[in-house]
Amino acid sequence: MNLLPEPSGNPEPGIPTPGDPEPGTAPVLPRRLASGVTIRDMLPADIPAVHELEVRLFPVDAWPLQMFTDELMQPETRRYLVAEAPEGIVGYAGLMCVEPIADVQTIAVVPEYEGRGIGTALLTDLIAEGRRRGAADILLEVRADNPRAQQLYIRFGFEQIHVRKRYYRDGVDALIMRLQLEDVLALHSGILHQDTIPGAGPRPVQTDEAGRAGETAPTEADQK
C-alpha cells in the first residue's frame, strides 16, 4: 500500500470525514463520501470487477476469484465493502470476525483515487464493524517494506506485536499489528484522513483450498 499526502482542500488532520460512523456504532451503508465515492457492501455481482483490481494491485499474491466468492458466503463471520465511483469500483476491503478477534483481510484503493480519503473511510468502517460484532482486538498484516502504510495504522491506534518472517511470496516479512478497541474512542478524533492504495491488508499465503484466509494471530511455531 502506498500512502500519499492529502491534496490541499481536504479535511485537516483530526477532523472526521463527513459520514464516518461514530465510534462504537456500526457503519450505515451505503454512504457517500465528499469525493463522490460511495462506500457500500460488496455484492456477488461485484466479484469480477474486484478480482480484476486484485490482480492489478497485488500481482505477487492475488487472491483467486473463487476466494472472494467463498468469503461472501460466510456473512456470519465476514463483511466486505467496496468503494464505487461513477466509473466503477475503485477500492474494496474485508473483515473477518470470530469473537473476540477481528482480522482485516484486505484493503485496497486504486492509485488513481489516492488522496481522497477512501482508504481511511474503508478502514473506519471495518473497525466499526469489528466493534459491532463484539471484537476486543482487530489484527492486520502489513509488509515490512511499507512504512507509510504502517504509519497510517499507527494513527488509527494499531501497534506492532509480531513479525512473520518471509511471509509474502516475494520474501518480505509481514508485521502483525493490533488495535485494542477500548482505545478507539480516545483515538477516533485524532485519525489523519489519508488514503490507502495497494498492499494494506493481509495477503494470506495461497493454498490449493480457495477461500481459506490466513490467520494473523501469532502461532506457537511463529513465536519460536
Give the pLDDT confidence score for residue 67 in this predicted structure. 98
Q: Is residue 22's pLDDT more than 50?
A: yes
154, 194 Cβ separation under 8 angstroms: no
- pLDDT tens readout for residues 101-127: 999 999 999 999 988 999 999 999 999
Give the pLDDT confidence score for residue 94 in this predicted structure. 98
Q: Is residue 134's pLDDT more than 60?
A: yes
Give the pLDDT confidence score for residue 61 in this predicted structure. 86
97 vs 4, more confident: 97
- Of the pLDDT bands very low, low, confident and very high (cuts 50, 70, 90), residue 98 is very high
Main-chain phi, psi angles of 212, to 5 degrees:
-90, 105
| Rounded Cα distance, 62 and 157, in Å | 27
Give the pLDDT confidence score for residue 20 in this predicted structure. 52
224 vs 22, more confident: 22
Average pLDDT taken over every residue of the chain = 78
Pairing of strands 31-32, 101-109: unpaired
User: For 160-173, what is the mean pLDDT?
Assistant: 95
5 vs 18, more confident: 18
Q: Is residue 25's pLDDT more than 50?
A: yes
The domain over range 31-203 is classified in CATH as 1.20.120.530: no
85, 114 Cβ separation under 8 angstroms: no
Give the pLDDT confidence score for residue 36 in this predicted structure. 94
Domain ranges of the chain: 31-203
* Cis previous bond, 100, omega within 30: yes
27 vs 132, more confident: 132
Beta-carbon count within 10 A of 158 CB: 25
Q: Is residue 195's pLDDT more than 80?
A: no
- HEC string of 166-222? CCCCCCCCEEEEEEEHHHHHHHHHHCCCCCCCCCCCCCCCCCCCCCCCCCCCCCHHH
What residues are labeled active site? 141, 153
| Rounded Cα distance, 168 and 43, in Å | 28
- Of the pLDDT bands very low, low, confident and very high (cuts 50, 70, 90), residue 34 is very high
| Rounded Cα distance, 86 and 66, in Å | 26
Give the pLDDT confidence score for residue 111 in this predicted structure. 92
Give the pLDDT confidence score for residue 47 in this predicted structure. 98
Q: Is residue 180's pLDDT more than 90?
A: yes
